Amino acid sequence: MKCRICDNFFYSETSFEDIFRFPSICEKCSLKYTINHYEETLPISNGTVTSHYIYNDIRMNAKQKDELKSNLESIWIKMIEKHDNKAIYLFMDDYLYETFESWFPFLKPFNNIHFMSLLRYDFDGFMNFF
Ligand SMILES: [Zn+2]
């Protein structure tokens, strides 16, 4: 089989349990891309900005990000459990990060801002906006 993430071919033992359900990700990628939940909170003048992300210190190409984006569901479920009526929850990606300056002023009325993403985005450079 061919791994959806690294495009390498891999062999997988089949049993009666998974005879019609083939693995789509190799064992190496399964270990490398284990879902973790990282959280960083920055204080701002009227509240906090919290960044939630799954993978730390991993570089990914667009195809790998696309294959793994369904893992964002785990963060979304945690956000639903924590639900705060006064907060705003946004998915962050490369495009939103690059255009941050143009749309961030619209978030200023919110006291608590939560960004959810696959990878860690550095907000230190944007501290003058908060
Ligand atoms: Zn792989």
24-47 pLDDT tens trace: 899 999 999 999 999 999 888 888
8 Å CB contact between 29 and 52: no
pLDDT at 114: 93
Q: Which residues contact 46 (CB under 8 A, 6 or more apart)?
A: 108, 111
What six digits make up the tokens of 62? 């667009």
pLDDT at 130: 65
Ligand 1 midpoint to CA 5 (Å):
5
- Predicted TM-score of the model (pTM): 0.85
Amino acid residing at 68: L
Q: What's the Rg (C-alpha) of the chain?
A: 18
Domain boundaries, the chain: 1-32, 35-129
Ligand 1 midpoint to CA 14 (Å):
18
Ligand 1 midpoint to CA 100 (Å):
32
Q: How many of the other CB atoms lie within 10 Å of CB of 55?
A: 21
Ligand 1 midpoint to CA 3 (Å):
5
Ligand 1 midpoint to CA 42 (Å):
35
Tell me the pLDDT of the chain (130 aa) as tens digits.
899 999 999 988 877 777 777 888 999 999 999 999 999 998 888 889 999 999 998 999 999 999 999 999 999 998 888 888 889 999 999 999 999 889 888 888 888 999 999 999 988 777 776 6
